[in-house]
Amino acid sequence: MREIVRFAKTEALPRVGDVLQAQALPAEDALAPRLRRLLDDAFASYLLLVEPRAVCEDVTLQGFAALLAPLELSADELAVGRVYPRAQALALYVATLGEALPARIRKLFDEDELAEGYMLDAVASAGADLLGDRLAERFAAAVVARGVPGSRTLPYSPGYCGWPTTGQRQLFAALRPEEIGVTLNDSCLMSPIKSVSGVLVAGPAEAHRFRPDLESCHHCRSRDCGPRLAGLLGRGKAS
């Protein structure tokens, strides 16, 4: 099934702590007054300009395997390649915050309002990532409604965990997200820039476990797959 999702603006509102952590800034209650004003202004601009929407469509395991095939990589070289064969359901997605928000960020930088631009950019980046999580929540509920209990859903995106950004070409060809105003250029960058894409993988929690020994793991700076999986499994730590 194909679905166009129109989010409420508040659904795309990131947590203040996530925005600050991404910039290595102190906790909210320890912010200097200048940073507090920048943060408040950024969130106000974000809520004014954000236009969150997405397109989602179910894909079979065979269909997703065909989508990965042109990359000429073995499934074992990708985190998603190791995970998806154990899925109970899959769905492709592209989500965006719209064009008005990145246009405002560009304008701030063009006018040398660098602090304001960086803060709004940080809020927008966190908001775009949040859309993937919101879609995962929706898909998880839909899978349970289909009579598949105990399913856990996570989003996996090109550009992460071994899945090259060139994988977006096949994803865009299959999903056609131009309907929500998102396009892909020759360098596989999305426009509007504050957009995310990937596949939602629903399956038993253990299906998402993989050993972090991919080639991309050696160059990864975030290392957030462990905590993400730990949260999914309901444990304090994931191996």
Which residues, in sequence order, are CB contacts of 54 under 8 Å at separation 6+? 4, 5, 7, 93, 94, 95, 96, 131, 135, 180
Q: Helical H runs in the chain?
A: 16-22, 33-49, 61-68, 79-83, 100-110, 114-145, 168-175, 225-233
Q: Which of 48, 46, 51, 49 is nearest to 19 (CA)?
A: 46
* Dist. CA 109–CA 137, nearest whole Å: 34
Model pLDDT, residue 236: 36
Note down pLDDT in tens along the chain; length 239 residues. Answer: 899 999 999 999 999 999 999 898 999 888 999 999 999 999 999 999 999 999 999 999 999 999 999 998 888 889 999 999 999 999 999 999 999 999 999 999 999 999 999 999 999 999 999 999 999 999 999 999 988 877 899 999 999 888 999 999 999 999 999 999 999 999 999 999 999 999 999 999 888 988 777 776 666 666 566 666 666 655 433 32
Burial classification of residue 97, based on how many CB atoms lie within 10 Å of its CB (0-12 exposed, 13-18 middle, 19 or more buried): buried
Model pLDDT, residue 235: 44
Q: What are phi and psi of 97, to 5 degrees?
A: -95, 0
Check if the beta carbon of residue 172 is closer than 8 Å to that of residue 93: no
Task: Read off the tokens for 222.
Answer: 């975030």
Model pLDDT, residue 222: 64
CATH topology of domain 2-233: NADH Oxidase (3.40.109)
Q: Is the dihedral of CA 69, 73, 76, 79 positive or negative?
A: negative
Burial classification of residue 62, based on how many CB atoms lie within 10 Å of its CB (0-12 exposed, 13-18 middle, 19 or more buried): exposed
Q: Give pTM, 2 decimals.
A: 0.90
Length of the chain: 239
Model pLDDT, residue 176: 96
| Domain segments of the chain as ranges | 2-233
